[in-house]
Copies of this chain bind each other. A is one copy, B any other.
Amino acid sequence: MRTMGGIDESVSPRARLAAEDEGITLDELRLATRNRGMPLEMLDHDLTPDGLHYLLVHYDIPTVDPSAWRLQVDGHVHQPLSLGLAELHDRAHVTHTVTMECAGNGRARLQPRPISQPWLDEAVGTAAWTGVPLAAVLAEARPRQGAVDVAFTGADHGVERGVEQDYQRGLSLDAASSPEVLLAHTMNGLPLPPQHGAPLRLIVPGWYGMAQVKWLTRITVLDRAFDGYQNVTAYRISTDPDDRGRPVTRIQPRALLRPPGFPDFQTRTRVLDVGRHRLTGRAWSGLATVDRVEVSVDGGSTWSDADLDPPLGRFAWRGWHWTWSVDRPGRYELCARASDADGNTQPLEQRWNRQAMANNHVQRVAVSVRPA
């Protein structure tokens, strides 16, 4: 049995795939009852109501004393910085409306299923994030010649696949210098709540959630590629255990349909009456503007184009709607799929990979239509 710093595999197991027909495990259930999806009826709102944004926390939510907290900016720079919260609040700030999605969204649908947080479709949310452009802080620190990557360290501490760590992610200096990247202190007009990274977090619009480091304590400029666990081991797209594959970066296009009608408590199957129904939803892509949403009422056999609402912003989901006239009672499977201006679209079949990352297969909503 492998032991690292007194932590063995019974505490921190290696990655594995569920056996065929293996139900959701206790490990997965523990994660599902802690982490939170966005209830899909909240697709009605441009901004996800406070407390209902999806949430994935790798370890524990740390309680950070904002008066004692400081952000260190160091490493391969000419001018290391140490910034308190008041200093950050005094700086010029901007607000971006950003749709954020967990890179593991859809994982629990995969066959075989990687054992981890078992998302279905709901690991998403949209918020207005306000903060200081990271580029301005980096410019003040003045990266030295030869700077390559920037590492972001959070206050959350734990162990994962045997590796004890503070949560830490790297970005290339180029990506980190992009003008939309924020050090956010405010969410929807209020100070960050503890679960979203108080007092300061990184916001990298268009990227999956793993890049949005919460509870930031340190920003370190590196003269080499960042080789931390969350970039090099986790958040990789690979089908072969001997191949590290490629990193997870920007959000693939996805559309979600607001489940219509009313639900059954247990199965969440939707009940509708025959007649005309306005189907609505949201669609987003971190790669390019969403320019098409299609809807299917027969499980993906045939598709119709939905009407798109005006964009909310460059990094936010886009509303869409389509009217369904149904006169025959019975069971239907509703689907929606998004495409973006770069020609990316959603697959009907899974794009399986060992960590179930960036899985933007099409949502399927079970509906029962009853007679008038």
Q: Point out residues on A near B: beta carbons under 8 Å.
A: 5-8, 10-13, 22-34, 36-37, 39, 41-42, 44-45, 49-52, 57-61, 63, 108, 115-116, 118-120, 122, 157-161, 164, 193-195, 259, 262-269, 271, 329, 331, 368, 370-371
Contact = CB atoms under 8 A, between A and B. Distances in A.
A331 to B, nearest CB: 8
A236 to B, nearest CB: 16
Given A32-B33, A50-B51, A265 B368 contact: no
Contacts of A5: 370
Contacts of A164: 271
Contacts of A267: 11-13, 27, 30
A60 B31 contact: no
Nearest to A14: B266
Contacts of A22: 23
B195 A52 contact: yes
Overall SS of chain A's interface:
loop
Count identical subunits in the complex: 2
A17 to B, nearest CB: 13
A58 B159 contact: no
A27 B31 CA distance: 16
Contact of A6 (B193, B262, B370): B370
Contacts of A263: 59-60, 158-159
B34 A122 contact: yes
30 contacts: A6-B370, A7-B264, A10-B269, A12-B264, A12-B265, A12-B269, A13-B267, A23-B24, A23-B25, A24-B25, A24-B26, A24-B29, A27-B266, A28-B29, A33-B118, A34-B37, A34-B122, A41-B61, A41-B63, A50-B51, A51-B52, A52-B61, A60-B259, A115-B266, A116-B266, A158-B262, A158-B265, A159-B262, A159-B264, A160-B264
